[in-house]
Amino acid sequence: MGRSNELQGLETLPELLNRSIVVYRDAEALRYFDRAESAWKSLTYGETGALVEQWRRAFAALGLERASRVAILMPNGPDHVAADQSALANGLVPVPLHAIDTPGASAYIAEDSRASVLVTNKRQRWEQLRDAGQPLEHLRFVVLTDEENEDVEENGVRIYGRRAWLALGEADRELPAAPRPDDLAGIIYTSGTTGRPKGVMLTHANIVANVKATLECVSPKTGDVFLSFLPLSHTFERTAGYYLALATGCVIAYNRSVLLLAEDLKTVKPDVIISVPRVYERIHARVEDKLRKASGLQRRLFEAAVATGWRDFCRKNGLPLEPGSALVDALVRAFVLPRVRETLLAQFGGRLRIAISGGAALGPKIARTFCGLGLPVIQGYGMTETSPIIAGNCLTENQPDTVGRPFCNVEVRLGEGDEIQVRGPSVMKGYWNREDATRDAFTPDGWLKTGDVGSFTDRGLLKIRGRIKEIIVTSTGEKIPPADLENAIESDPLFAQAYVVGENRPYLGLIAVLNPTEWKPLAESLGLDPEDPAALAAPAAKTTILKRAKAAAAGFPNYALPRATVLTLEPWTIENGLLTPTLKLKRGPLSERFRDEIAALYATHG
């Protein structure tokens, strides 16, 4: 049983925070790195409440209409919390922008949501957004939290620096009425692997219902430290790593930057992290790299520790057992497993108890290693439109090849083509100003269509089989979920990124971004110059790399393995338009970028 009973009767996000301010007033709430003083600092729950109150008064001074939109383009941290919570408490609607997105995408969201206020940290960010080609007709105020002395008007937009903004909150004025459960608590724009993003309208009731249901599945202890590094524009982080953490008296420590994540894990020593698979993959790749440089005996001991730990994990969770010797397991369990486990946990700071993964599937090899070595990564499943979590594993029932049981307050059924369809209190109100899209998102009898293909195990656990729109159907009629295959290929550290093609083609092709540090020794071993771009097209390189890809995806049927490849060293990023802000492949733009190479690939191998 989780801790949701503590939140009984609470129906809005400000109510969750206000309860914690009373119950945990002097306890640490937020921890952040002060770059000016080069030191970690903290705010208690009481101090956080006072900061939110000051921001509430500043917002009230603007005289905004109820439900006006407030675009927030900020890194994770206390100012983001203050902007979000004060807007919510005043009956305004936060619109979180992706802090790592392009200015054009952010400007589109600000314009589409008709935001009246933009809160950001730097003048440069505001200027890039302003100059991105959107009219921003509804924008009236800009708040720049890192600029102290701004207080000017530019082309009808009032711009406040921190000092002038907080000074607005010094006047004693009546604050707006609290929000109601059915009021909007956010318009969260989906990252959009194809086309323009859509604004998902989530109410206070939606998000609070999901917080309570999550607590029935994963229950942190009061005082647990969360390390926050996913952007707060990501609904997964927003609900599970922010609203839930503050509702239960936990500490949110903010990562200084993704580049410093490995260091911050060791400094902050979190009890809980909310992550996407890529972070676990990177740590696993570091472990693999060390193993390649280790002695044969060290590698065998590591493999034995994983195998023994995995069998123990399988017994605990009712999974099929791999063959093994009870005597060998006993010896490994006594003398080897504790040391190997300690080495892995040290990568996460040594105290990590709850590691949650969502957003995409975790590769089987990575799940086996982490779960076997005492870090049982908990996979969940959801989407922005469901606030976001639909189902999840838990510490007492964890089957990594599934996404666990549907939440207690969520109904899940399999519709046409085994599409996962959902109904419950956490399902969105609809898409902002997109009546047709809203209508298309639901079945005639009111169930949300996820677009994912699923099945249930005989124990009632949900499995994700792929995306309806992302299933590749070859010209021979075979159906392959590309994301699963790409994840498997990327488990080999040679492959930084993988993109599988083959729709209406006789076989699959692989477009791969290689890891330069892995490519260099491989090229040299083949007698190729790793600095020469032509080496990537050499037959010897392609043949060898295809073998590596097939070995990494050995669990797939033969028809689901790539037979031809295009290689590159240029990464796909948000900035070059090939990744979404949640680091998913943009398949349409990738297909266009590599159109000629793909055509040549099939012409050559057809």
Give the span between the Cα atoms of 324 and 329, in whole angstroms.
7
pLDDT at residue 604, as a whole number? 61
pLDDT at residue 100, as a whole number? 75
Print burial letters for 454-487: b (CB count within 10 Å at least 16), e (below 16). Answer: bebeeeebbbbebbbebbbebeeebebbbbbbbb
Instruction: Give me 61's structure tokens.
Output: 């001074």
Q: Inform me whether the pLDDT recorded for 555 exceeds 80.
A: no
> Among 252-256, 405-409, 490-494, where is mean pLDDT lowest?
490-494
Query: In this structure, what CATH number is given to the domain that contains residue 111?
Result: 3.40.50.980
Q: Inform me whether the pLDDT recorded for 383 exceeds 50.
A: yes
Boundary of a domain, candidates 275, 307, 323: 275
> Among 2-16, 246-260, 471-485, 507-521, where is mean pLDDT lowest?
471-485
Answer whether 34's CB lies under 8 Å from 242's CB: no
Boundary of a domain, candidates 243, 275, 307: 275
Average pLDDT for 524-545: 95
In a domain, 339, yes or no: no
Closest CA to 589 of 473, 511, 507: 511
In a domain, 380, yes or no: no
In a domain, 30, yes or no: yes
For β-strands 69-73 and 39-44, DSSP reports them as unpaired
Place of tokens 């994990």: 313
Query: In this structure, what CATH number is given to the domain that contains residue 557?
Result: 3.30.300.30
pLDDT at residue 557, as a whole number? 76
Give the span between the Cα atoms of 512 and 263, in whole angstroms.
29
Give the span between the Cα atoms of 176 and 65, in whole angstroms.
10
Higher pLDDT, 603 or 412: 412
Q: Inform me whether the pLDDT recorded for 102 exceeds 90.
A: no
Q: Inform me whether the pLDDT recorded for 308 exceeds 90.
A: yes
Which residues 6+ apart lie within 8 Å of 27 measured at CB? 44, 45, 222, 223, 249, 251
Closest CA to 201 of 180, 186, 211, 182: 186
Give the span between the Cα atoms of 597 and 367, in whole angstroms.
34
Give the span between the Cα atoms of 57 and 174, in whole angstroms.
8
Average pLDDT for 176-181: 97
Number of domains present in the structure of the chain: 2
Q: Inform me whether the pLDDT recorded for 194 exceeds 50.
A: no
Range of the structural domain that residue 480 is part of = 472-605
Highest mean pLDDT out of 189-193, 280-284, 552-556 = 280-284
> pTM for the complete prediction?
0.85
Answer whether 45's CB lies under 8 Å from 24's CB: yes
Q: Where does residue 175 rank: exposed (0-12), middle (13-18), buried (19+ CB within 10 A)?
A: middle
Rounded (10°) angle between helices 277-293 and 296-317: 140
Q: How many CB atoms lie within 10 A of CB 155?
A: 7
In a domain, 305, yes or no: no
In a domain, 55, yes or no: yes
Give the span between the Cα atoms of 429 and 420, in whole angstroms.
19
Q: Where does residue 41 rank: exposed (0-12), middle (13-18), buried (19+ CB within 10 A)?
A: exposed
Boundary of a domain, candidates 257, 275, 293: 275
In a domain, 328, yes or no: no
- Amino acid present at 275: S
> Among 81-85, 358-362, 512-516, where is mean pLDDT lowest?
358-362
Closest CA to 117 of 165, 47, 78, 76: 165
pLDDT at residue 195, as a whole number? 53
Give the span between the Cα atoms of 579 and 50, in whole angstroms.
39
Give the span between the Cα atoms of 312 and 335, in whole angstroms.
15
Half-sphere exposure of 91 (CA within 13 A, CB side): 12
In a domain, 573, yes or no: yes
Average pLDDT for 323-340: 96
Closest CA to 120 of 69, 73, 81, 166: 73
- The average confidence (pLDDT) of the chain is 93
Q: Inform me whether the pLDDT recorded for 193 exceeds 50.
A: no
In a domain, 381, yes or no: no
Average pLDDT for 50-61: 97
Average pLDDT for 522-530: 95
pLDDT at residue 98, as a whole number? 87
Q: What are phi and psi of 188, to 5 degrees?
A: -105, 120
- How would you list the strands of the sheet with 564-568, edge to edge? 495-501, 509-514, 564-568
